[in-house]
Every structure is written in C-alpha cells, then in structure tokens.
Structure 1
C-alpha cells in the first residue's frame, strides 16, 4: 500500500500535467491563437531551446541572489530567534519592527534600496532577504517557546544553565518549527529575488530572469516570456523538494511528523 501511494504521488501529477499540456496545445492550434498572444507548449519548448544560452545565464544570476538571500535568512533569522528566546524584553522591544519589515511591500522598499546601495546585486539581495527571513524568525520563536514546561522545570531542578537548556531542550524542540520556516523561506527567497529584479529593471550581462521577462514583453517575444516563467516555476519546485527532503532526513528518526510520512 505504501509503495502504491508513493507511486501515485508521482504518477498522478505527471499524468495530469501531460493532459493539461496536450489540451493547451490542442486549444491553441484549434483556435489558431497567435503565439504573440498565447504560445502553445511546443512554441515554449522551442523558445527554451533556442534562447537557452541567454535564459540559463539569467537563471544563474537569479539563483545566486536566491541562494544568498536564503542562506542569510536561515542564519540571521535563526540567530535573532535564539536571541529573542533568551530575553523576553529584547523580543518585546524588537519583534514589532520585524513585523513591520515583513508587512511592508518589497516593491515599496526596493527603489529606496537601489538608491541607497551602490551595488545593484547587493540591493537585490537585501530585498530578497527581507522577504525570506521572517518565516524563519517567527517559526523559530514559536518553536523555542514551545518546549514542554515540565521538561523545563526538570532541567531547572537539576541545575541546568540557560545555555544547556537551550542546547539540549529548546533547540531540539524548535527544529520542526524551524525547518517548516526553512521550507517557506526557500520559495520566498526566489519570489523576493524575482520581484526585486522586476522593480530594479537592471539590464546588461548581469540580468536575472525577471528582466528577461520584461525584455521579452517589450519585444513581443511571448514564448520566451513563458519559457522564463517555466524556469522560475521549476526552480521554485526544486527548492521546495530539496528543503522538504532535507527536513524529512533530519526529523525522520525522532519526530512524529516525519515518521508518519514514512509509514
């Protein structure tokens, strides 16, 4: 039964995707829709092959910004969460400002950062980081504060220091929450990078996929637009699969949620 479920989890989405692509191609050809309005999957695939050198270079630029923002969000968000967990006064003082940073649209902040920061790539990185770090911060804070109070009392009874309680109880208890934030942050890093590139509109050799989409739109090369969108979507899916796989590998031996997914 488990093997059937695992097979169905892969086969059913693939079959549905193939059917949708076939229907899409049939509708475009049957209605004779211009590729400038709505290209079919065949046109998109052709554009992906023909423009691969241009799009792959742009993808690499976007990936570098995404990866840098993601790693920075994990490190900084986790460190700030630990700092907040050690002092309730620090959390009460600074957490509202983290919320303000999160709810402020990145499209409103990006133009200012581009003006203030000389390096466009650094400005894009900051924008993507602003989008990605809050899920890790908020989830980690919840996890660190969710350690069983009975175990906390037991640690205190045996004379454990705050650092020992943090390392041996609170951080392990927070890992599922932290890893859930990591899964969310991975996709948001990509979204933040793409949105920041749209706002910056930076062209040239160091352009990301967002600029290539804008460029293709100006040139009415709609198949190239769809090809770039496909690359962004596939990148997001791969990021989610990688973070989910890593989370399951970390938790599967001791946490109930991962063990339930395996059973």
Structure 2
C-alpha cells in the first residue's frame, strides 16, 4: 500500500504545482478569460456542461475504439501476408507508407464526399490513421523470429501455418503490443480530427465538434475541458491495451 502511495505522490504533486502555476500566471499576468481561463473556470464548465460533454465523449470514444479495433484486425492480416509472401511485401508495402504519409486533413473531404457526414466517416478516418503502426510493428515482429527456432521447426517438418501460429506470432507479440499502443493514442487523435470535418450528424456531436465550435466562439474554457476529457480517453485506451497485453497476450510470448 505504501509503495503505491509513493509511486502516485510525485504525479499528484506535479499536477498541484501545475494548477497553482496556471492560476498565478493568470492573476499576475492579467490574462483575460478569452485567452486562458482559470482552472476553476474549466472545472466549473466540466460540472455545468457535464451531460453534453460526457455524451460527446462517449460518441468520440465509440468511434475511436471501433476504428482502432478494425485497424488491429486489418493490420495483423496485412502483416501476416507481408511476412509470408515477400513479393507481396515488396509490391505493397510502399503503398502502406503512402497511406501513412498522406495528411489525414487532405483526404478527409474525400471520405466525406463518399460516405457523408457522421460517425461512419469518423470511424474510417480513425481506422486510416491507426492502421500503419499496426502493420509495421507486426510485420517487423513476424520477420524477426529466431533463426535457430525456425531451423528446429523445419527439422521437424512443421507446416507454414504451424511456424506462423506457434513460432512467428508468439515471437512478434512484443512488437505487436508496441504497435497497438501507438495506434491507441492515434485513434483518439483520428476521432477528434475526423469530427472536425465529419462529426456533424444531426443530434450526435463528438468532442471534436465541441472543440471546433468552442474555438469559433472563443470559449476557451469549453475547449480546454474537451481537451482534458479526450486526454483521459487516450490514457484509458492506452491502459486498456496494456492491460490486455499483460493478461491475454503475455503467456503467448516466447522467451529470449
């Protein structure tokens, strides 16, 4: 118990110091609330508009998780094909890099033109921005299984499927987890960015839409409150991936 307190105490103290510095900066510097509200004003908005903000947070989180989960399944499938077929990897991997380097704000209008405004477009945008880390991490992990174990499997006449399922995949789990953790953070970013452009479905507004409208109205208190909630969502999704990795996937790992 005392060890947990010692571990949690430094971050709590750091947060308190940050909030005090924030409040003093506004009071001493005479900064107007239209530029930077006080911490109290932000927490007051969180309390007064909790219903709207947390409803929007739920919509954003569903879009982020859906796109993230889809990127895991598609990314792992693509990585398996890339690792098993060298000609396919050489032919198609540059296009995966291309998909990653194209600015999502540039292709968002195209997605909206095809799919319209609403959650579907937000999920697709989230999927695109989360896909590349899963593909690269999983592909690298599947290609880096130990040569001595591969030779042992070949000696015993293991099939391609057996080598993939019992050797390559367990060996690649640490890198797959790393890719999933990176993608989990990008999923929240993708959902927020998607809602900037496509999150205007009637009666269903995510955090990105609230950020967009708050910025236009100079409601910085609402903007910071929405940023705070989205940050908590990113931490929660990252923590969920880490917990899943430590419980469900860790027993599969092959020790070095």
**Normalising to structure 2: TM-score of the pair?**
0.93
Kept in 1, the 8 Å contact 2:118–2:201? The answer is no
Matched, 1:46 2:44: yes
Q: 1:3 Cα shift?
A: 6.8
Q: 1:117 Cα shift?
A: 1.4
Q: 1:199 Cα shift?
A: 2.7
Q: Matches of residues 220-239 of structure 1 in structure 2 within 5 Å?
A: 220-239=218-237
Q: 1:254 Cα shift?
A: 7.3
Pairing partner for 1:84 from 78, 82, 85: 82
- Label 1:34 to 1:256 Cα distance change in 2 as closer, same or farther (>3 A): farther
Matched, 1:63 2:61: yes
Pairing partner for 1:181 from 173, 179, 182: 179
Deviation per residue, 1:9-32 (Å, 9 max, x gap): 322111101111012112223334
Equivalent-residue separation in structure 1 for 2:128 and 2:225 (angstroms): 27
Provide structure 2 residue ranges, at least 5 long, that are not aligned to the other structure: none
Q: Matches of residues 1-263 of structure 1 in structure 2 within 5 Å?
A: 4=3, 7-118=5-116, 120-200=118-198, 202=200, 204-250=202-248
Deviation per residue, 1:171-204 (Å, 9 max, x gap): 0001111011111111111111111111336264
Kept in 2, the 8 Å contact 1:203–1:211? The answer is no
Q: Which moved more, 1:116-125 or 1:61-70?
A: 116-125
Q: 1:69 Cα shift?
A: 0.5
**Normalising to structure 1: TM-score of the pair?**
0.90
Equivalent-residue separation in structure 2 for 1:92 and 1:238 (angstroms): 36
- Label 1:209 to 1:97 Cα distance change in 2 as closer, same or farther (>3 A): same
**3-state SS of 1:195 partner:** helix
Equivalent-residue separation in structure 2 for 1:141 and 1:107 (angstroms): 27
Equivalent-residue separation in structure 2 for 1:205 and 1:123 (angstroms): 16
- Label 1:8 to 1:146 Cα distance change in 2 as closer, same or farther (>3 A): farther
Kept in 1, the 8 Å contact 2:195–2:209? The answer is yes
**3-state SS of 2:34 partner:** coil
Provide structure 1 residue ranges, at least 5 long, that are not aligned to the other structure: 258-263
Equivalent-residue separation in structure 2 for 1:203 and 1:120 (angstroms): 5
